[in-house]
Amino acid sequence: MSDDTILLAARKALSGLTMPDGTPFLGASQVSGPTVSNGRINVSILTTADAAAALGDIRAKAEVALRNVPGAVTAFVTLTNDKTIAPVLKPAATAKPEILAGVSHVVAVASGKGGVGKSTTAVNLALGLRANGLKVGILDADIHGPSLPTLLALHGQPRMGQDRRLLPMQSNGILAMSMGLMVDAETAMVWRGPMVMSAITQMLSDVDWGTLDVLIVDMPPGTGDAQLAIAQGTTLAGAVIVSTPQDLALIDARRGIAMFKKVDVPILGLVENMAHFTCTDCGKQHALFGTGGAEAEAKRLGVPFLGAVPLTMDLRAASDSGQPIVARDPEGQLGRLYIDMARALWANLTASYPNTQTHKKL
């Protein structure tokens, strides 16, 4: 079905709705859209922080109406506010959304800046947790640079389940969902903090994750509003911070640690990535970015150090092939390293939450 046909049907579906003040939804000045791209419908409602709560109902109604539009692949109606996000946030201590009741722990993998190997770490830790017998899902929340579709060779569109919730995809024995499968890159590029948060909380609640021991969330890089919003809005059990040994990256990592501590999310571990380079010709290890910095820093900050991952071509090649190193070569040196780090992560998690029960892995 063409986007134009879907757009017409989407407008029709919204035509009966009204804003809380009685004006027609489609005619309201703060409503942008609907837009349709590859069957994905997006609408945004501009609001102030104070008015956001009052718009929750109409947002949900509009979304339900759009989901029933024939041919619609996904439908998102987001509240957006460029200036402040605070009142849109749920307080840090809110209970897990009912919908995530089957997920024992949501764990964020974060980094202070992009390009340090956060996604590579997230996906290999997820596979490492699975190798330790756990049932695992991974959500790629890196809206501006989603890499999970490549890392796990996810193709096509997620399917809709019976209750019109999306079914996560399966790859290498874990469940996976990526913003990259839902929203096209151009739409996501212009999203700011509140829209990012609103989209991610919807990804958590609109996807049928079923029962999981751990849901890994590959966070957007950095420590801005969007990250803080996710940390507060998703009831995280803990966070893993990824850093390269460079001083600059460590400063960023410290910022990340401080952010999670501020919202009372325990740091379950620090992973040092691209720690050293093993020369394929001479076999010697070269510490390109200095050595031991992350471990010393972890000790100084009182956070667990999970391990140091070398810079290697193997890791990169495996990631590019859609079969991450833990899936491709679990017995190899790197595979074992990630599986060991995942075991340490799980130990830290169950130490923080001693009543944890485990599920049967996929």
Q: How many residues bind ligand ADP (CB under 6 A)?
A: 18
Q: What is the DSSP letter of 23?
A: S
116 binds ligand ADP (CB under 6 A): yes
CB 117 → ligand ADP: shortest distance, Å? 3
Residue 291 CA: distances (Å) to CA of 122, 242, 253, 275: 22, 15, 16, 7
CB 224 → ligand ADP: shortest distance, Å? 15
Report the candidate in 72, 182, 130 with the shortest Cα–Cα distance to residue 191: 182
Longest dimension (CA), the chain: 74
298 binds ligand ADP (CB under 6 A): no
319 binds ligand ADP (CB under 6 A): yes
78 binds ligand ADP (CB under 6 A): no
Nearer of residues 265 and 334 to ligand ADP, judged by Cβ: 334
Of the ranges 39-47, 109-117, 159-167, 293-301, which one interacts with ligand ADP (CB under 6 A)? 109-117
Query: Which residue among 39, 114, 173, 330 contacts ligand ADP (CB under 6 A)?
Result: 114
CB 122 → ligand ADP: shortest distance, Å? 7
Angle between helices 3-14 and 56-67 (to 10 degrees): 140
Chain center to CA of 261: 19
323 binds ligand ADP (CB under 6 A): no
Of the ranges 108-116, 228-236, 246-254, 325-333, which one interacts with ligand ADP (CB under 6 A)? 108-116
316 binds ligand ADP (CB under 6 A): yes
Q: Which residue has the closest beta carbon to ligand ADP?
A: 117
CB 338 → ligand ADP: shortest distance, Å? 11
The angle formed by the CA atoms of residues 240, 272 and 277, to the nearest 5 degrees, is 150
- The structure tokens listed for 208 are 């049928």
Q: Considering only residues 270-289, where is the footprint of ligand ADP by CB under 6 A?
A: 273-274
Nearer of residues 102 and 115 to ligand ADP, judged by Cβ: 115
Binding mask 125-164 for ligand ADP (x = CB under 6 A): ----------------------x-----------------
97 binds ligand ADP (CB under 6 A): no
Quick check: bond before 34 cis, omega within 30? Answer: yes
CB 305 → ligand ADP: shortest distance, Å? 16
Residue 254 CA: distances (Å) to CA of 208, 278, 297: 34, 27, 9
34 binds ligand ADP (CB under 6 A): no
Residue 120 CA to residue 132 CA, distance in Å, equals 18
Helix-strand-coil split of the chain, %, nearest 5: 40, 25, 40
272 contacts: CB under 8 Å, gap ≥ 6: 243, 244, 245, 293, 294, 295, 305, 307, 308, 309
Query: Where are the extended beta strands (E) located within 3-102?
Result: 31-37, 40-46, 74-80
Whether 315 and 309 have beta carbons less than 8 Å apart is answered as yes
- The structure tokens listed for 161 are 């389940």
20 binds ligand ADP (CB under 6 A): no
Nearer of residues 9 and 141 to ligand ADP, judged by Cβ: 141
Of the ranges 196-204, 257-265, 279-287, 306-314, which one interacts with ligand ADP (CB under 6 A)? 306-314
Binding site for ligand ADP (CB under 6 A): 111, 114-120, 147, 221, 273-274, 309, 311-312, 315-316, 319
